[in-house]
């Protein structure tokens, strides 16, 4: 079963959200309206909560996890992904906060207590170190991520376009494939 409880923690998934059958969602995870979770993703809210806001998409092979409350990290670190966020293929999000209308590039990593302000574009392969805060409205690249330049109007429009496109694509997947059956 790919969507399951852990101890007394149960996933809460909006009826309009779509989770691919090969993705795994465990524990205290909330998926908002029209969220999509693509093949091979792992979203594990076993030791703290994960919240994913409306119309956000978590693309293939991404891993989302959290940090527990301990003397090394008082209060732990939940994972909060706000609305209209695009999380690219094979991204790792760990105990961080992603503001609305962000795009996280393929293979990027965002670590404990890092914060991406709204309208941030993080380039492919970038690393956001623990506790790092990325100012919104900018393109960030590198390991560690560095501010490169302000987003253009076209790039800001693209942030909305990608989120909307993934809502439409998930609806097509939910409706079923028209692919031929194996013979």
Residue 162 CB neighbours (<10 A) = 17
Cα–Cα dist 169/161, whole Å: 12
Q: What percent of the chain has pLDDT over 90?
A: 95
pLDDT single digits (tens) 103-143: 999 999 999 999 999 999 999 999 999 999 999 999 999 99
- The answer to whether 104 and 87 are in contact (CB under 8 A) is yes
Domains and CATH numbers, the chain: 3-178 (2.160.10.10)
SS3 category, 99: coil
Interstrand relation of 92-94 and 63-65 (parallel, antiparallel or unpaired): parallel
Cα–Cα dist 16/80, whole Å: 19
Q: Tell me the pTM.
A: 0.94
């Amino acid at each position: 079963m790919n969507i399951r409880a852990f101890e007394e923690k149960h996933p809460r998934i909006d009826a309009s959200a779509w989770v691919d059958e090969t993705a795994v969602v465990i524990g205290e995870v909330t998926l908002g309206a029209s969220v999509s979770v693509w093949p091979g993703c792992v979203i594990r809210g076993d030791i703290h909560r994960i919240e994913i806001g409306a119309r956000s998409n978590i693309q293939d092979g991404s891993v989302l996890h959290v940090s527990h409350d301990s003397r090394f990290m008082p209060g732990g670190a939940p994972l909060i992904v706000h609305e209209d966020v695009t999380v690219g293929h094979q991204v790792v999000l760990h105990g961080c906060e992603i503001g609305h209308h962000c795009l996280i590039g393929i293979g990027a990593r965002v670590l404990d207590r890092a914060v991406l302000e709204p309208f941030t574009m993080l380039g492919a392969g970038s690393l956001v170190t623990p506790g790092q805060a990325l100012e919104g409205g900018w393109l960030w690249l590198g390991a560690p991520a560095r501010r490169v330049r302000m987003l253009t109007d076209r790039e800001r429009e693209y942030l909305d376009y990608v989120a909307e496109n993934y809502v439409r694509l998930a609806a097509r997947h939910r409706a079923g494939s028209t692919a031929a059956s194996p013979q």
